[in-house]
Chain A
């Protein structure tokens, strides 16, 4: 079974530019999550999709971040315009179930975003 795939693996952009990150979850996983880890700190929740619907986007830092999951398959996370503090590693994870039925999330390898 293919795992969670993210690309690009690395992205270096200038402040003010736009970047779009993509995540392909494991096929059949309705739940898709975006997380961010900044400078070796904790992994922060960004948002959670159930199929194509945003279940919770309370972790999105501000309106420069836009996530979509059209068709309930892959998801994109767009940062526009990017700021220096957006640098970090963005992880995507997917799971078949959630809550008490969750059997653990499978994470992608992450996209390391550097804004200069």
Chain B
């Protein structure tokens, strides 16, 4: 079992916005968001616990819908440094499972 992410990949110009979605057929206990740059460790961005919750991290924010089955990550006015693969992750039982990832490329 694994959360579903969309899109698989997105290419942006600097300054453009992007949305990455993470969804599950079952209500999620919580959703984590991570970003991994090529050759580096995944870095924790934020965690959402409550239905309807919204959180921000600089120009990166996320929401968790009321039914707790979908989370979206919003990247506003993207910068070159935003490039990387974004993973959502959640618990299925005792296991923490990552989504398949969304590769984001920001071009000058």
Contacts and interface: CB of A to CB of B under 8 A. Distances in A.
Interface of A: 4, 33, 35, 40-45, 48, 55-56, 58-59, 91, 93, 98-100, 102-110
Given A43-B98, A99-B91, A104-B47, 6 more contacts: A42-B2, A55-B94, A91-B42, A93-B42, A99-B30, A105-B32
Contacts, number: 61
Nearest to A59: B95
Given A42-B99, A48-B94, A103 B47 contact: yes
Contacts of B85: 40
Given A42-B98, A45-B95, A55-B94, A107 B42 contact: yes
Interface in B72-90: 85, 87
Nearest to A103: B47
B47 A102 contact: yes
A43 B95 contact: no
Nearest to A43: B98
A42 B91 contact: no
A104 B44 contact: yes
A98 B47 CA distance: 12
The residue among A43, A99, A110 with the most chain B CB atoms within 10 A of its own CB is: A43
Nearest to A112: B39
Contact of B30 (A43, A58, A102, A110): A102
A34 B40 CA distance: 16
Given A100-B30, A103-B47, A104-B47, A109 B91 contact: no
A102 B94 CA distance: 12
Interface in B50-106: 85, 87, 91, 94-101
